[in-house]
């Protein structure tokens, strides 16, 4: 892996992206986080480790993932050309596996025998259970009980892979509560356990480490777009829950200032209703899950319940690097409602024969807004972060279809 | 000298150990809290740790998580916790009160506003579970400027370097988390605690409160022989949960437990 940016150097050595990030955890986790940081720093410079990672990404994950020119969609919209980075074609069906392969190799090198993870949509849980099965490691996945119900196919996949899925009943019973429970497990079993966080949030070094494992998306895309179009794309679009697929695409382009970067949050029923998951659009800075970032909270600093049709975006925080990219203006953050995402979902499915995840459908929906405002010689690259098979129950329920 | 330090000094001179109960403010409802604090003092509490409920209590086990949920269901908030402390102070100016909670409610209020309000209400110490000293220079300076003690956690895996750092930055006492786990866990090992406390004592002169996993009088007495104070939280809060609507029963059981701990520690 090469250092992908020349001028942009975030975070600092204590994990701060400007005022965001950091390491806000109870004392018992300070030593394990320090050990993890040391191992990560060391192995990211270790040629053997990097060679093993590259091999796994190629032969196990199926990388590089293609970039596909969605010509019919582009023609229909009548503006900029839309290209899709096909992370949905990865093994396990989403970008999440890029990171779990990396962290699992790290866990093995650190001598850990037990893997834990949190999951929302279940994609990260499946990607974690997958690599744990392959490496013969015990795997426990924490998942909010609301998400267990709405992502039943992924729950079964995790169990088939040998993982224990623990439904979390606390508070809103979604991703944030799963993350709390995973932290509680880690603090209890810290000696033999490696916590694979699935997004670019959490205490340092997770936001930087997960970003570095996901940056393979943007590095490939840069080369692929140059091959296909002879230049860099004019705009990048990716959905943002915690923000791992977005940062993975954006990061190698940060110093290419002509490339517009747009993160798409979940507006749920609409920002004005308060029922959404869009902290960058409508939240304010605070501290949760080990880092300072934008949060959805009430005036007393209690975290409020979020809503999105897509479980993977249903999270009240966001990775601290996105908070920083927003404040310094390098990336823009917009939001897309459940209804708009559904329109994006159906449009891509019908016009291109690609069924996108509901998370990724938010990025598609924003591309459908942006493309018509641009001339046809402009190129937009959308990160198609996952496939939609896992969402068929949600869609059937919403549209009154009995399976 | 702060109210906490002078209390711990007097106890030391008397050859006694501090009994430090924890309850969550507003659990099971806001009207319960102040009378409960007075009753705990009556039953032998030397210092009170008052939990500030938070929506995402990552370091707490199920008992204190549920206490937080009960309190939040009654719209408890950091502002209201400070009002409860002020009310407690109207009739008790002796017993130190330490607020224990998570950083985000304090961030939302703002450090200077919180510090001023806490001082005015009569708070003596602040223990913020998810705020290590590396991230809290500004907050520590504000607290110590108004003689509120910043209280830090130490864990079984804290390095000598970190213990020394907490010893320099902390005031009042250090809270030794006696096991790797969340509050209310049940695998406390006294030999391990004794070994680690020996190490901590070699690195700092601050008194040491020991908590996480103290469930009964026998354990309180055993732990009190090792540290300078014993923190008991989940065992008390569990009485509130078990009693449900019957808060008189909760109060009776909590004070009975504290009295038995006090007696065992002083025996």
Contact residues, B window 93-152, toward A, CB-based 8 Å cutoff: 102-109, 129-132, 134-135, 152
Domain boundaries, chain A: 16-58+96-210, 65-93+216-398
Quick check: A204 and A350 in contact, CB under 8 A? Answer: no
Decide if A176 and B56 are in contact by the 8 Å CB cutoff: yes
Residue of B26, B30, B53, B55 best to disrupt the A interface, most CBs of A under 10 A: B55
With bands split at pLDDT 50, 70 and 90, how would you rate the model's confidence at B97? Answer: very high
Nearest to B58 among A22, A184, A190 (CB): A184
In CATH, the number for domain B3-266 is 3.20.20.70
Find out whether the peptide bond into B28 is cis, omega within 30 degrees of 0.
Answer: yes
Q: Report the catalytic residues of A.
A: 96, 118, 385
Whether A24 sits inside 8 A of B57 (CB atoms) is no
Tens digits of residue pLDDT in B211-235: 988 999 999 999 999 999 999 999 9
Q: Locate tokens 């729950």: which residue? A: A155
B13 contact partners, CB below 8 Å, separation of at least 6: none
Q: Which of A14, A176, A301 lies nearest to residue B107, judging by beta carbons?
A: A301
Distances A218 to A210, A222, A384, A401, B20 between C-alpha atoms, Å? 13, 6, 12, 38, 54
Asked if domains A16-58+96-210 and A65-93+216-398 share a fold, the reply is: yes
pLDDT at A1: 40
For all residues of chain B together, what is the average pLDDT? Answer: 96
pLDDT score, position A172: 82
User: What kind and span of H or E run contains A334?
Assistant: strand A332-337
Write down the pLDDT at residue A2. Answer: 40
Determine, for residues A26 and B130 on separate chains, whether the beta-carbon distance falls below 8 Å: yes
**Are B107 and B139 in contact, with CB atoms under 8 Å apart?**
no
The parts of chain A modelled with pLDDT lower than 50 are 1-5
Calculate the dihedral angle through the C-alpha atoms of A168, A173, A175, A176, rounding to the nearest 10 degrees. Answer: -100
Rama region for A213: left / alpha / beta (φ>0; ψ in -120 to 50; rest): alpha
Instruction: Read off the tokens for A94.
Output: 């989403």
Fold of the CATH domain A16-58+96-210: Rossmann fold (3.40.50)
Please check whether residue A96 is in contact with residue A216, taking contact to mean a CB–CB distance below 8 angstroms. Answer: no
Three-state DSSP class for residue A264: strand
pLDDT at B47: 98
Which of A23, A189, A302 faces B135 most closely, judged by CB atoms?
A: A23
Measure the CA–CA gap between B89 and B111, rounded to whole angstroms. Answer: 22
How much of chain A is in helix, strand and coil states, percent to nearest 5?
50, 20, 35
Angle (CA) A125 A128 A134, round 5°: 140
- Mark which residues 301-340 of A lie under 8 Å from B by CB: 301-304
* A82 Rama class: left (phi>0) / alpha (psi -120 to 50) / beta: beta
pLDDT of residue A403: 81
**pLDDT (0 to 100) of residue A5:** 44
Instruction: Summarize pLDDT for B151-187 with one digit per residue, the tens.
Output: 999 999 999 999 999 999 999 999 999 888 888 777 7
The CATH code that applies to domain A65-93+216-398 is 3.40.50.1100
Q: What is the ipTM of this complex?
A: 0.95
Are B98 and B72 in contact by the 8 Å Cβ rule? The answer is no
The pLDDT value given to residue A7 = 78
């Amino acid at each position: 892996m090469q250092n992908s940016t020349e001028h942009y150097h975030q975070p600092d050595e204590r994990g701060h992206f400007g005022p965001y990030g950091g390491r806000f955890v109870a004392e018992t986790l300070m030593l394990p986080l320090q050990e993890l940081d040391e191992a990560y720093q060391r192995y990211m410079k270790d040629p053997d480790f990097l060679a093993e990672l590259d091999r796994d990404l190629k032969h196990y994950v199926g990388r590089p993932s293609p970039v596909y020119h969605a010509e019919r969609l582009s023609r229909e919209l009548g503006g900029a050309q839309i290209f899709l980075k096909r992370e949905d074609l990865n093994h396990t069906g989403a970008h999440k596996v890029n990171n779990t392969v990396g962290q699992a190799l790290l866990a093995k090198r650190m001598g850990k025998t037990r893997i834990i993870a949190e999951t929302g949509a279940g994609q990260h849980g499946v990607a974690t259970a997958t690599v744990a099965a392959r490496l013969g490691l015990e795997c426990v996945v924490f998942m909010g009980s609301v998400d267990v119900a709405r992502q039943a196919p992924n729950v079964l996949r995790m169990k088939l892979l040998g993982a224990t899925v623990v439904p979390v009943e606390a508070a809103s019973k979604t991703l944030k509560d799963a993350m709390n429970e995973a932290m509680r497990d880690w603090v209890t079993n810290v000696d033999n356990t490696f916590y694979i966080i699935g997004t670019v949030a959490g205490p340092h070094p997770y936001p930087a480490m997960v970003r570095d494992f996901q940056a393979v998306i943007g590095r490939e895309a840069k080369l692929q777009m140059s091959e296909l179009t002879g230049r860099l794309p004019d705009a990048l679009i990716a959905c943002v829950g915690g923000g791992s697929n977005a940062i993975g695409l954006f990061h190698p382009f940060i110093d290419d200032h002509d490339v517009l970067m747009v993160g798409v949050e979940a507006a749920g029923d609409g920002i004005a209703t308060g029922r959404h998951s869009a902290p960058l659009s409508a939240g304010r800075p605070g501290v949760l899950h080990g880092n300072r970032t934008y949060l959805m909270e009430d005036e007393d600093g209690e975290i409020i319940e979020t809503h999105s049709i897509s479980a993977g975006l249903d999270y009240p925080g966001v990775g601290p690097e996105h908070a920083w990219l927003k404040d310094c203006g390098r990336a823009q953050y917009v939001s897309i409602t459940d209804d708009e995402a559904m329109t994006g979902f159906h449009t891509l499915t019908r016009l291109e024969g690609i069924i996108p995840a509901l998370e990724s459908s938010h990025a598609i929906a924003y591309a459908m807004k942006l493309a018509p405002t641009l001339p046809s010689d402009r190129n937009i690259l959308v990160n198609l972060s996952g496939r939609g098979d896992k969402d068929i129950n949600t869609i059937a329920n919403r549209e009154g279809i009995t399976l | 000298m702060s109210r906490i330090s002078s209390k711990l000094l007097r106890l030391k001179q008397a050859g006694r150990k501090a009994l430090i109960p924890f309850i969550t403010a507003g659990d099971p409802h806001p009207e319960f809290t102040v009378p409960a604090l007075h009753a705990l003092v009556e039953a032998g509490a030397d210092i009170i740790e008052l939990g500030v409920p938070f929506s995402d209590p990552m370091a707490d086990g199920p008992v204190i998580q549920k206490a937080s949920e009960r309190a939040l269901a009654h719209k408890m908030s950091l502002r209201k916790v400070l009002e409860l402390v002020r009310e407690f102070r109207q009739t008790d100016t002796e017993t130190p009160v330490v607020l224990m909670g998570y950083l985000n409610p304090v961030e939302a209020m703002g450090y200077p506003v919180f510090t001023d309000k806490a001082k005015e209400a009569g708070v003596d110490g602040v223990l913020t579970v998810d705020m290590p000293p590396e991230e809290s220079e500004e907050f520590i300076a504000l607290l110590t400027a108004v003689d509120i003690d910043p209280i830090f956690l130490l864990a079984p895996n804290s390095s000598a370097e970190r213990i020394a750092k907490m010893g320099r930055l902390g005031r009042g006492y250090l809270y030794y988390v006696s096991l790797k786990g969340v509050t209310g866990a049940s695998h406390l090992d006294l030999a391990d605690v004794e070994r680690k406390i020996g190490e901590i004592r070699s690195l700092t002169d601050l008194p040491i409160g020991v908590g996480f996993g103290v469930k009964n009088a026998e354990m309180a007495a055993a732990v009190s022989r090792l540290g300078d104070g014993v923190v008991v939280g989940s065992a008390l809060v569990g009485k509130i949960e078990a009693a449900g609507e019957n808060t008189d029963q909760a109060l009776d059981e909590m004070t009975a437990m504290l009295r038995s701990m006090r007696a065992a520690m002083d025996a």
